[in-house]
Every structure is written in C-alpha cells, then in structure tokens.
Amino acid sequence: MRDWVKQAEVDAGERDGLTSSEREELVALRRESRRLRGDVDILKRATAFFAKETR
C-alpha cells in the first residue's frame, strides 16, 4: 500500500523518482536492448561462420 502512495506522489510530481510511464518505457527499452544484443550475437556468429567458409 505504501508503494502505491509513493508512486502516486511521484506521478503527481510531489516526490522525486520515475513516473509510471517512465518505468514502463524503461522496461520496454531494456527488453528491446536484450533482444538487440541477442541479434548482434547471432550476427557475429554468422559472420565468423561465413568467414571460415570463404577461406
């Protein structure tokens, strides 16, 4: 219950911290970052594989 009150105060600008929308955005950005890191890892592996094949 206290956490809800604190979050409501943050959302109202009465207290410092991340607003609810900022928290949601942060979660989405972290999820996207994790996915992109996985994509980069896959591309690095594919690059290494094809570099070996062309030698």
Domain count, the chain: 1
10 domain-assigned = no
The structure's pTM equals: 0.71
**Domain containing 50: what range?**
20-55
53 domain-assigned = yes
40 domain-assigned = yes
**Residue 28 pLDDT level (bands cut at 50, 70, 90):** very high
Whether the per-residue pLDDT at 19 is higher than 90: the answer is: yes
51 domain-assigned = yes
CA count, 13 A, side-chain hemisphere, 4 = 1
- The dihedrals phi and psi of 3, each to the nearest 5 degrees, come to -60, -40
Whether the per-residue pLDDT at 38 is higher than 90: the answer is: yes
**pLDDT the model gives residue 44:** 97
SS (H, E, C) the chain: CHHHHHHHHHHHCCCCCCCHHHHHHHHHHHHHHHHHHHHHHHHHHHHHHHHHHCC
32 domain-assigned = yes
Q: Contact 11/19 with Cβ under 8 angstroms? A: yes
